[in-house]
Each structure stands twice: as structure tokens, then as C-alpha cells.
Chain A
């Protein structure tokens, strides 16, 4: 109760916080705001332009002058087919890259092989080769392999998958190696001293501890596959075109705003997925160790 009906003053500490924002704090907030704007601006432009209905055909118009959903109704079926393929391919590549990358990272960090740094450099090599060169090289390799065995992988899903796996695996190796190098070996020793087998120790101690690296690597692997054009344009074939290839060659000769609508759906899907993960299990759980 306030006997004098006088307005209650806010706590002194809060007043002090609000009245005296330091220059450093303002600069910090300004910098963070600018960073968010920089990161989100392209997506906002794509989303906004996809809603412009001022002309039957145009380039990118932002901000939209007349709202419409017509470009969403005109998204070609080929975009949906390509998107489905890219999602399946990206997920398969992420899983495959983890299956290859985790043992490779363990071998490099824990193994007693001479020249570990050379191995690490070797594993990073696919990231340093221009993707166009990788695409052509795989195409030539598949022809040579086919000549020798009769099994031609060019223009097949398996061929495209292997090409993407080649460039995606180093990301998993890199992120898992960086986690393993900080790994406290006493955790494993403790588990084994209490009777856990090597496999049980790996499954219940090592793997949960390195999961942030695995998740980050898998995410990179997925993104590398999902966004690739230079490799896929040499290894795709009729009937299975990836989403970025479909978009890239679609806008090369002409521009239809349904491309913006299609891209907007992908952006919204990605944001929705992130929100769902956050809501159901929490992003922190995904990216941080459970150990």
C-alpha cells in the first residue's frame, strides 16, 4: 500500500541502468543490430519481392508495391521435385559424412600414426579444390571407372552422392577433430575403470561429448550439399536435378518472380524448422554436449 497515493519510484538500481547507458554498450547494441540487418536483409528482400504483384513479369521489386501470392501459385513442379531431391541428398550426405568423418577424426587425433598433420592436410584437400574442378574430375573418374568395370556412375544418384560426400566429409572431420583435441581422456578412463567396454565407453561417453562437433559438421555437410551448383551441374541428369541447379539455370536465361517465391518457401521452411527444433528439444541441446 502507498498511503500518499504517490507514484512508486522504480528501484534505484534500474533507474541507474537505464539512465546511464555507456557509450560502449550503445556501440555494442548498434554493432549487433547492424550484424542482424546485414544477415537478414537479403532474406527480407527475397521474401518481400516474392509478394510484389505490380506487373505480370518483372525483375526484383522491393519493397512490394502491391501484395499478391500469385507467384507462389506459379512455382513450377520442377522446383518442388528438385527441392525434394536436394533435401534427401543433403540428409544422406550429412549422415554419410558423419559415418566417414567421425572414425577418421578419431584416427587422426587418437592414432599413433606418424605425420598426423599431413593426414589432416590431406583430409582438408577437398575443401581447397575449386568445386568446378571437382565436378569435372568426378565425371572423368566415373567414365574411367565405367570403362574398367562396366558400371558407369555418371548421371546417377549414387554418382552425385559420392561427389557431394567427397567435399562434405572434411567439414565433419574438421569440427570433430577440434572437439576431440580438447577432450578430457580421463572421462574415458573413468568409464573403463568402472567396467565399461570400449564400445560402451565410446557410445556413452565419447560420442555424447563430441556431439557438438558432429552436429556442426553434419550441418555444414548438409549445407554444402544443399547449396552446391558447380559439382551437381556435371553430375546431375534428366529426372534428378538438384534445387540450386534448377534455380541457377532457370534464372540464367530468363527471370520469373516465381523463383523468388520458391526461394521464400525454402527460407520459411528453414526458419520453421529451427523454431520447431528450438520449441521441441531446444537448440542448446542440439549444439551443446550432453555430457
Chain B
């Protein structure tokens, strides 16, 4: 017995004793999460926008071991913060960017390259949304939202161009996006192109705008909802999400019309992007966050709550059936979306646009 113990028992016990910590460590490794100890800072919009991210995306990131902190602000403010921090640790890892800033940021070397291997959901978005330095994460279709009942009552045909809003019967009843508001630049570019101008010559658009009698301007989309609800306006130029809110929540009898821009373009598409700030210490975690943003479930929920249109194709398909009113307000076919005007802001002097707008509108 003693011999057998010495020969087999003791070595076995020693082996088990030696293996135990190893087994524990293997178990611990199996339970370890890929982003344990990582804090990801995301520059995004505030209010319900941030709240949706907290509700839907943050739990997924926490399941990966990651802590997410949201820094709220407009893309312009976030750009200023990145500029102030240049050469030092980035103030955010991931940042929401509008199409008017994307070239400026990329050209200034503020954005890190996107590693699509870490974003499997990017397979569900259009190729042009898979940029080298940023990923498209939402779009808005900028349209003419009009009161069907009032237009019928006044005998006005469905508007197909911006110029249709110059109708005398709509005097004082049209609301346009202020250039400094969320959809301002895209909708201004829309009327400029539709009037024969371009990014270097915006005067034709301003001339058309001046033909709208008693036009009002909105900065926050809620203004449109309030104005439709109160019966103050019969038409507004805004993205479909605000028209949807007017229909759903203000019981307004509204529909959308994508204005004809020129022979090849109808409607205006604004695109939101996610970029990873150069200098981020957590690029892999950033890709995981972007992947969760593009996730079908989140894109559907986010579209329903925020009114922006998803980029995930499966989410688009689901919205056709899950939210038919919203689907009816948007162009859904890829070919139609491709024919919408996407403004190229490269080289555009936006401050010059503001100056010209202020001079024309204040007169």
C-alpha cells in the first residue's frame, strides 16, 4: 500500500495540486470578456438619441466587458473638442459626424482607418457607406412634408418641386429648415441644386427661397410638429422622421413628397457617420461599438424612436411591415435612394453659405 501510494498516489496528488490553479485560470480565462477594463468614450447627440444608445447598445457592450461613456454635443462642438486636443489623448474614441464635416475631419487626419473585420454588420450596409475612415450609421430623406387635407381643400396639387411652395395660397404657411439647424445645410443644398445652382453658386437657391411668401424657419424639428398640430403651417421642408412624428403624435394628415432636384436626382439624402478618432487607445472596442450600432435590432428600434432611417438592409425590410406609415414616407428601393442628391461638401465654404443666407433671409 505504501509502495503503491508512493508510486502512484503521491505523484497523482501532486499533479492534481499542480493542475488546480491552472484549471482555475483556464476557467477564469473562459469567463474573461474581450474588453474587460476598457472604457470607450462616444461623442454623440443628447436627449432621446443618447438614451436609445444607453438602452440598447450599452448593455451589449457591457456584456463584452466594456464600459461606455457618452459625451453629448453637436458634431460641430465635438469637432472643436478634437481640434483642441490635437496631439494628445483623443477626447472620444468614437464620434458621430455629419456629412458636412466628414471630409474636413478626414483631410485633417483626425480619423483612424476603419477595420471592417471587426464590424460584421457592415455587410448589411451599402458599399458607399463603408468609408475608409467612417461608417454610415443612419440616413435621413429630406422631403416636402405637406398637409394632404389642406392642399386638397385649397385645390393645390401635390408639390413635386421646391418652387411649388411659392404658391400664393401657401402664403405664411410654409416652414423651411434654417441653415443653422440639423437639416439646414442639406435642405439648403437641395433648393440650390433644384434652382440650377451648385455648392459654389448658391444664389439661385436663395432667389427661390425668397419667392416663398411669409416663409417661416425651423431649427428644432419639434417646431414642425407643433406648427402642424396648431394648424399654423401646411407644408414643411424637413426629413421624413419629423413628418412621421407630425402624423403619429400630432394627428396631422400629412404625407411626403421627394422634390425633384434635376433630371437625374429626386430628393435629398443626408447621411450620419461614425468615425474612430485617431489616437484612440481602444480601436477594437470602437469597432465593436460600431458593429452594435449597425445591428438590425438596434437599427429598427432606433428608427422607430428617433425617426432617422436605418442603413442596415434587414432593418429597412422589417420597417416596411413594422412601420408602414414610416415606410410610405421614405423611398425604399436602393435604386431610388441612389438617385437622391447626396451633397459633396468637399471644398465647400460653409461660412460663405451662412453669410449669403443671413444676408438674403434677413432682408
The residues of A with any CB-CB pair to B shorter than 8 Å are: 55-61, 76, 78, 136, 139-140, 143, 146-147, 154-155, 233-234, 237-239, 241, 245-246, 248-256
Which residues of B are found within 8 Å of A58, using beta-carbon distances? 225-226, 229, 249-250
Alpha-carbon distance A251/B219, docked complex (angstroms): 10
How far, in Å, is B207 (CB) from chain A's closest CB?
A: 30
B59 at the interface (CB under 8 A from A): no
B282 at the interface (CB under 8 A from A): no
Stretch at the interface among B80-88, B208-216, B310-318: B80-88
With contacts A58-B225, A59-B223 known, is A250 near B69, CB below 8 A? no
Contact of A59 among B47, B77, B222, B251 (CB under 8 A): B222
Closest to A238 in B: B69
Which residues of B are found within 8 Å of A250, using beta-carbon distances? 46-48
B249 touches A56 (CB 8 A): yes
Which residues of B are found within 8 Å of A241, using beta-carbon distances? 72
Alpha-carbon distance A60/B224, docked complex (angstroms): 11
B309 at the interface (CB under 8 A from A): no
B45 touches A139 (CB 8 A): no
B251 touches A234 (CB 8 A): no
Can you give 8 contacting A-B residue pairs, CB < 8 Å?
A57-B245, A58-B225, A143-B85, A234-B81, A239-B69, A241-B72, A253-B49, A254-B48
Alpha-carbon distance A241/B221, docked complex (angstroms): 23
A139 touches B225 (CB 8 A): no
Closest to B85 in A: A143
How far, in Å, is B290 (CB) from chain A's closest CB?
A: 19
A238 touches B229 (CB 8 A): no
Which residues of A are found within 8 Å of B48, using beta-carbon distances? 250, 253-254, 256
How far, in Å, is B218 (CB) from chain A's closest CB?
A: 10
Which residues of A are found within 8 Å of B283, using beta-carbon distances? none
Contact of B250 among A55, A248, A253, A256 (CB under 8 A): A55
Which residues of B are found within 8 Å of A233, using beta-carbon distances? 73, 77
Alpha-carbon distance A254/B46, docked complex (angstroms): 9
B25 at the interface (CB under 8 A from A): no
Which residues of B are found within 8 Å of A60, using beta-carbon distances? 222, 226
With contacts A76-B51, A241-B72, A253-B182 known, is A234 near B80, CB below 8 A? yes
B159 at the interface (CB under 8 A from A): no
B38 at the interface (CB under 8 A from A): no
How far, in Å, is B300 (CB) from chain A's closest CB?
A: 18
B41 at the interface (CB under 8 A from A): yes
How far, in Å, is A73 (CB) from chain B's closest CB?
A: 16
Give me 20 other A-B pairs in contact (C-beta within 8 A), A154-B91, A248-B46, A253-B306 excluded. A55-B251, A58-B225, A58-B249, A60-B222, A61-B229, A143-B84, A143-B85, A237-B71, A238-B70, A238-B71, A241-B72, A245-B72, A246-B46, A249-B72, A249-B74, A251-B220, A253-B47, A253-B182, A254-B47, A255-B220
Alpha-carbon distance A105/B207, docked complex (angstroms): 55
Which residues of B are found within 8 Å of A251, using beta-carbon distances? 47, 220, 222
Contact of B182 among A146, A154, A237, A252 (CB under 8 A): A252
Closest to A139 in B: B84
Alpha-carbon distance A143/B91, docked complex (angstroms): 11
A139 touches B72 (CB 8 A): no
Which residues of A are found within 8 Å of B226, using beta-carbon distances? 58-61
How far, in Å, is A253 (CB) from chain B's closest CB?
A: 5
Closest to A249 in B: B46
B45 touches A249 (CB 8 A): yes
Closest to A246 in B: B46
With contacts A155-B91, A255-B220 known, is A59 near B72, CB below 8 A? no
Closest to A137 in B: B84
B229 touches A55 (CB 8 A): yes
Contact residues, B165-222 vs A (CB, 8 A): 182, 220-222
Which residues of A are found within 8 Å of B47, using beta-carbon distances? 249-254, 256
Alpha-carbon distance A252/B69, docked complex (angstroms): 20
Which residues of A are found within 8 Å of B72, using beta-carbon distances? 241, 245-246, 249
Closest to B229 in A: A58
Alpha-carbon distance A239/B73, docked complex (angstroms): 14
A252 touches B220 (CB 8 A): yes
How far, in Å, is A237 (CB) from chain B's closest CB?
A: 7
Alpha-carbon distance A78/B48, docked complex (angstroms): 11
Which residues of B are found within 8 Å of A57, using beta-carbon distances? 225, 245, 248-249
Contact residues, B217-269 vs A (CB, 8 A): 220-223, 225-227, 229-230, 245, 248-251
Alpha-carbon distance A249/B41, docked complex (angstroms): 17
Closest to B305 in A: A254
Alpha-carbon distance A59/B51, docked complex (angstroms): 19
Alpha-carbon distance A13/B306, docked complex (angstroms): 68
B73 touches A253 (CB 8 A): no
A255 touches B81 (CB 8 A): no
Which residues of B are found within 8 Å of A154, using beta-carbon distances? 85, 91
A254 touches B221 (CB 8 A): yes
Which residues of A are found within 8 Å of B222, using beta-carbon distances? 59-60, 251, 254-255
How far, in Å, is B243 (CB) from chain A's closest CB?
A: 14
Closest to A239 in B: B69
Which residues of B are found within 8 Å of A78, using beta-carbon distances? 51
Alpha-carbon distance A154/B89, docked complex (angstroms): 12
Alpha-carbon distance A252/B76, docked complex (angstroms): 13
How far, in Å, is B219 (CB) from chain A's closest CB?
A: 9
With contacts A136-B80, A143-B88, A238-B69 known, is A254 near B229, CB below 8 A? no
Closest to A155 in B: B91
Alpha-carbon distance A56/B305, docked complex (angstroms): 13
How far, in Å, is B45 (CB) from chain A's closest CB?
A: 5
Alpha-carbon distance A59/B73, docked complex (angstroms): 22
Closest to B77 in A: A233
